[in-house]
Structure 1
């Protein structure tokens, strides 16, 4: 079930994103089931996303990592970034941040074999929202 949800989100990001969106950060609204904003990638956004990866604290414990409401921020990472911690060692070319107002943010990415990894992290996503110039509804 989780794999189907993830596949659906990735397909929506892929289908609804023009080829030129590879260098863009995308904000996906879970309740609307669509990308609601695209922002050209800036070095500060990459640094912020990489800081979340460095601050991973635990594997996300819940069975359903994708909430019904909230947002997923897709941050492309070119060049790819190395991830090495107690749970995974891989290189990734994009990272997703799940933000719903009533739960801590969740970071997820796919390893080189396309297996999803979900993590909790210490980090304030408000800075990323400010960089994206986007105010999430209800957060």
Structure 2
């Protein structure tokens, strides 16, 4: 029961963050520490972060089919995309203006994107996140390799 409540709280937070990005249009990637329950860092967007995010989106391999896509421990990186990127695969064909890369504590990262009706899609991908992490200056407190 607490896992369901936790998931609902996190999804609500993510939806709220999405609305804030549309309202403020800051143009900053935000790093959310799930364990702490807060944004720990904001990084100004640039062409390299945008391009790396686009590369990750293009490397989608499947839907994320696990029961709980939002982990209880780890990080989420919300990346606003301006200009928006066209996501075209067998599950979705839409312009995406925001991506959330989810870094669970003990699992490979996966993506959350929203379609034009704000419906979330969770995807697995096989692209490297190394350049993105370097540009965001994000290191995982010994949690990840």
For 1:134 and 1:51, the matched residues in 2 are separated by 18
Compute the displacement of 1:37 (Å).
0.4
Compute the displacement of 1:126 (Å).
2.2
Partner of 1:133: 137
Q: Assess if the C-alpha contact under 8 Å between 1:13 and 1:35 holds in 2.
A: no
Partner of 1:43: 47
User: Is residue 60 from structure 1 mapped to residue 84 from structure 2 by the alignment?
Assistant: no
User: Is residue 19 from structure 1 mapped to residue 24 from structure 2 by the alignment?
Assistant: yes
What is the alpha-carbon root mean square deviation over aligned residues? 2.1
Number of residue equivalences: 137
Partner of 1:10: 15
Q: Which structure 2 segments of 5+ residues have no match?
A: none
For 1:4 and 1:117, the matched residues in 2 are separated by 18
For 1:12 and 1:75, the matched residues in 2 are separated by 11
For 1:4 and 1:122, the matched residues in 2 are separated by 28
Partner of 1:113: 117
Compute the displacement of 1:9 (Å).
2.6
For 2:35 and 2:84, the matched residues in 1 are separated by 30
Q: TM-score, normalised by structure 1?
A: 0.89
